[in-house]
Amino acid sequence: MIQLKDVKKRFGRTNDEILAVDGVSLTIDEGEIFGIIGYSGAGKSTLIRLLNGLETPTTGTIKIGNREISAFTGKELREARQKISMIFQHFNLLWSRTVKQNIAFPLEIAGVKKADRERKVAELIELVGLSGREDAYPSELSGGQKQRVGIARALANDPEVLLCDEATSALDPETTDAILDLLTNINERLGLTIVLITHEMHVIRKICHRVAVMEAGKVVEIGPVLDVFQSPQAPITKRFVSQVTEPAGTDQAIAHLPGGTLIKLVFVGEKTEHPVLASLIRKFDVDVNIVQGNISHTKGGAYGSLILQLLGNENDIDTAIAYLHELGVQTEVIGNE
């Protein structure tokens, strides 16, 4: 378990201070994939660097397992850091070393014997799907393959925690998904705790159990991913959720609709399968136009949203909306003319 208590990190001098992390308290469970999302400058990188002891908090404490990493220095810190690995946006591979030699590097530093090193490297190459590329150099690999090397290297010392710093931000969408699948697979097979930072809600949706949203150094929202999708509270969280749930151009599409009442329905879990729309049309004297529909799958279940235009008299529309509430479908009126 990772526990942060009122962690603050201040940079700069008295007159020119930046509070990069401003009073963050949170707990990350063992075996969890925990995502931290925020725009540039929100404090994500600083927070992740605090987790692996690259920065020390100005105030507050950070515990990983029962070790208070924020109080460690020197040898104690170096040892603790062997159990906290990291992968990076730009991979940080050694260009003059082959795939095999890159993965072996942390084992060499830890003083592992050659025969054990070779066995471990072979196992890791298989785990990350790089069999056949052992002797290639990083310059001969695709972006996705480079990140697979990064992941194998990060796992070499059997870490307790894997930190991912925008690990898929330099990759195309298909490769991103393949790397996210690999991280999920590793989390499930090894029970490894994964903490990732990103500015992409797609990454959070696809693999995280829980998410914390950061803005100006603070965690403004935290919870299971499905809950956050279903009812985002902070304005910034709403913007992130709409990255996934509302295709580009939705606002313009809505703006150009003449008349009627616009409603947004949110379905969670099995209700996505419920034939709500059919019964709405059957039961009420309203015309229903589908403006936009979308289903997103999270680790906690499916989340669907549907924007509808209802045309008819006010009374019928109100009764139809009341019926949706009765069915337990989250319904919000987003426009009325």
List residues near ligand ATP by CB under 6 A.
11-12, 18, 20, 38, 40-46
Q: Do the Cβ atoms of 42 and 236 come closer than 8 Å?
A: no
Burial class for 10, CB neighbours closer than 10 Å (0-12, 13-18, 19+)? middle
Tally of residues, the chain: 337
CB of 191 to ligand ATP, least distance (A): 28
CB nearer ligand ATP, residue 46 or residue 145 = 46
CB of 199 to ligand ATP, least distance (A): 6
- Ramachandran region of residue 59, left (φ > 0), alpha (ψ -120 to 50) or beta? beta
Task: Report the amino acid identity of residue 231.
Answer: S
* Residue carrying the six token digits 């994964």: 194
Task: Report the amino acid identity of residue 157.
Answer: N
Q: Do the Cβ atoms of 236 and 213 come closer than 8 Å?
A: yes
CB of 164 to ligand ATP, least distance (A): 13
CB of 48 to ligand ATP, least distance (A): 8
CB of 71 to ligand ATP, least distance (A): 21
CB nearer ligand ATP, residue 10 or residue 67 = 10
CB nearer ligand ATP, residue 17 or residue 251 = 17
In this structure, is the dihedral angle defined by the CA atoms of residues 139, 172, 54 and 68, taken in order, positive or negative? negative
Which strands form 67-68's sheet, in the order they lie side by side? 18-28, 2-11, 59-64, 67-68
CB nearer ligand ATP, residue 124 or residue 163 = 163
CB nearer ligand ATP, residue 44 or residue 148 = 44
